[in-house]
Amino acid sequence: MNILFSLFAGPIRLFYQALAKIFGLLEENLPAFSSFKPLYTAAYVSTLKARLIAAKALPGGSGGISKRAVERVKLQSANDLVRLLWQSLKQYVIACYPESERESRLNEIGAAEYAMGYENWGATDQLSEKALPFVEANETALLANDNMPDTFKLEFKDAIKAFGTALTAFNTATNSKVLAKNKKIEENNSLYKTAVTIGKDAAIIFRGKSNAELRRMFTYSYQLAVLRGGFASLRGWLQTEDGTVLEGVKVSCDTEPTWTAVTDAKGYFKMLKLKEGTDRIFRFEKPGFETIELPVTLKAATAKTVKLVMVPLVNA
C-alpha cells in the first residue's frame, strides 16, 4: 500500500493556518462570492471551517507509527530466533550429508534466502517455507547418530509460527498507519483544491487594479509566505531626465541601516529579503543630484519595482 502525496507546499501547521485565513476572507467577502456563485453561503463556509478542524484532528498515522514500532520489535525478535535455529539446522545438515551433497542440501533449506539479509522479513518467510518441510521430510536422517535433537523440529516449528504471527501483526500495523496517513492527506488535498477554487473565483470577482491586493490575499502561496515571515524585495532603475542611466546611486532605508544597495552600470539596483512594513522611507543619493526620499509599502512575498528620475543640483 502506497502513501499518497500532498498537493500543497509548506509545513502542515502552516497549511492549516493558511487555509483558515482564506476561509476567513471568504466569510468576510461572502456577499460578493454569493453573487458570483450560489454555492457560496454561510452554511458552506461553516462546513469548510468544520472540515478544516476535523482534518487537523485526524491522526495522520502518528498513532499507527507507535503501534508499528512495537510490532517491529516483536518481529525482529521472532526473526532472530528463526535465523538462529536455521544456523543450528545448517550444522545438522553439514554433519548428516557427505560433502558432495552439502551445497545442494543447504540450498534446499534456504541458504540463499538466509544470505539476503538480517532484516529481510520476506527472505526469512521464504527460508521458513523451505527449511521446515526439509526437516519433516528428512527427520530420520537428521536424527541419526544423535545429530539433531529430537526436540528441534517442534522448537523450529514453533519459532516459525511465532515469526508468521509477528509478521502479520507488523504488516497490519504498517497498513493501518498508511491508511490513517492517506485519509488525512486525502482530506487535506480536498481542502486545498477548494481553497484554490476560491482563489480562482476571487480573481474573477475582484477584477481591476484597485483589487489586486485583495485578489492576492486569496492565494495559498501568499498566505503561506506571510505565515513563514515571507520577505519583500525592492528593485528599480535610476536615470536623468534625458534618460541617461545613473550608476553609483546609493540606496538606503532610514529605519533599516543594513538595507543598502548601489545602482550598476545600467542604473539598476535590487534589495532582497526586506521585512514587511508600511511607508518605509528609502533614500536615493548621488553626488551632484538632489536626494530622493520615497515612502514604500513592502508586502511579504512581493517584489516592488520603481523607476525614478534624479534631478541635478542647481550649483553642481
Write the pLDDT tens digit of every residue in 111-165. 999 999 778 899 999 999 999 999 999 999 999 999 999 999 999 999 999 999 9
Q: How many residues are present in the chain?
A: 316
Note the pLDDT tens digit of each residue in 46-84.
999 999 999 999 887 554 457 888 999 999 999 999 999
Q: Considering the entire predicted model, what is its pTM?
A: 0.55
Alpha-carbon span 233 to 276, nearest angstrom: 9
- Coil vs helix vs strand at 154: helix
- Longest C-alpha distance within the chain, in Å? 118
Among all chains, which residue has been given the C-alpha cell 501568499?
Answer: 222
Block mean pLDDT (10 aa), the chain, length 316: 78 94 96 95 96 90 66 93 96 95 95 88 94 96 95 96 94 84 92 96 92 90 82 92 95 92 96 85 95 90 89 82
Percent of residues in the chain assigned helix, strand, coil, to nearest 5: 60, 15, 25
Q: Cβ distance 274 to 231 under 8 Å?
A: yes
Per-residue model confidence (pLDDT) at position 64: 45
The label of the residue with cell 495522520 reads 60
Alpha helices in 206-284 (DSSP H): 212-217, 220-227
For 136, the grid coordinates are: 519433516
How many whole angstroms separate alpha carbon 233 and alpha carbon 238? 17
Q: What is the rounded CA–CA span in Å between residue 265 and residue 47?
A: 57
CA angle, 9 then 15 then 20, to 5°: 145
Model pLDDT, residue 133: 96
Radius of gyration of the chain from its Cα atoms, rounded to whole angstroms: 35
Q: What is the pLDDT at residue 91? A: 96
CB count in 10 Å sphere of residue 204: 10
